[in-house]
Structure 1
Amino acid sequence: MRIDLTSVFVDDQEKARRFYTDVLGFRTKHDVDMGGGARWLTVVSPENPKGTELLLEPSGHPAVQPYRDALRADGIPLAQFAVDDVHAEYARLIALGVEFTQPPVEMGPVTTAVLDDTCGNLIQIATAAPEPA
């Protein structure tokens, strides 16, 4: 068993596509018109284009907004993405105008930072310390 697809709910799929591709660096894998203004819109890591897809899913279901509001109010990220160097990625994204709710913080063997994806979600980026030899 493996994770093939996961999703984040987004307020605006086109805005999300631009942020996740132009800013975060993912690549569009599928962009299919589903009718009614919705799209099957997935992105993947350029490092693993056949890997796990992230569905940028419309946030129209009535349960989505209260769920996301509660997570944001508590500062809880909806998803986490691995990066090679949180400090370098933080600096790169700050230079592009990305807003962070948490700058890089060391948490034991992991360094994390939390950003606002401009589409209703907090996203955590993380780097694990190298395994001891």
Structure 2
Amino acid sequence: MITKLGVASVFVNDYEEAKAFFIDKLGFELRQDVTMENGFRWLTVGPPASPEFQLSLTVPGPPMHDEETAASIKALMAKGALSAGAWNTDDCRKTFAEYSARGVEFLQEPAVRPYGVEAVFRDDSGNWYSLNELNEQALDQDAMAEVFGSQSP
């Protein structure tokens, strides 16, 4: 049985640029940085509060992708069409202020939502992330279905 998510991946344009963004701007920690025999670089970072979680920073290309696939992924990144997930925080407004001061580009300032307070930011590769301060209703399926006007299955 699966117990939790250990590794998630995000596509980035440049390993060093992405590493600096996540460590210097978001305050993440370096988890792994090794290059395998086939040339694949396994670069992972993670938030200090989640020491078992690794975010894999992956540049599209060999050996994982052929040139055509890598070009397609890079085109989607350039358009800002990829969402890389949602990060939780205890205080969205405070985190927004800290990250803004560090140069993080926000697409949306903190706003009250039915599930809490949310801001949206972009990394240096064009991926966007939701930054959430969740409230008590956020994980209540029935409450969210009622707020958003849909039925629970």
TM-score with structure 2 length normalisation? 0.74
Q: What is the rounded CA distance, in whole Å, between the counterparts of 2:131 and 2:27 in structure 1?
A: 13
Report the AA paired with residue 25 of structure 1. Answer: G
**Structure 2 Cα separation of the partners of residues 79 and 18 of structure 1:** 19
Equivalent residue number for residue 33 of structure 1 = 35
Q: Is 1:9 matched up with 2:15?
A: no
The Cα RMSD (Å) is 2.0
1:80 correspondence with 2:80: no
| Greater Rg over alpha carbons, structure | 2
Secondary structure of residue in 2 paired with 1:63: helix
Q: Across the two proteins, how many residue pairs are aligned to each other?
A: 127
Extract unaligned runs of 5+ from structure 1: none
Q: Which amino acid aligns with 2:109?
A: P
Query: 2:132 matched to which residue of 1?
Result: 126
Gaps of 5+ in 2: 62-69, 138-153
Q: Which amino acid aligns with 1:53?
A: Q
Q: Distance in 1 between matches of 2:109 and 2:118?
A: 8
Identity %: 33
> Does the CA contact (< 8 Å) of 2:18 and 2:57 recur in 1?
yes
Q: Tell me what 1:52 maps to.
A: 53
Which one scores higher on RCO, CA 8 angstroms, separation ≥ 6? 1
- Aligned-partner Cα distance in 1 for 2:7–2:103: 28
Matched with 2:74 is 65
Q: Is the 8 A contact 1:38 1:58 kept in 2?
A: no
Paired AA for residue 84 in structure 2: L
Cα distance between partner residues in 2 of 1:35 and 1:102: 42
Note the alpha carbon deviations across 1:64-107, whole angstroms, 9 max, x for none: 1243355x25xx63221111111000001111121111111111
- Sort the Cα spacing of 1:113 and 1:35 in 2 relative to 1 into closer, same or farther, 3 A: farther
Of the three residues 22, 25, 31, the one matched with 1:23 is: 25
Give the distance between the partners of 1:59 and 1:101, measured in 2 at CA.
Answer: 24
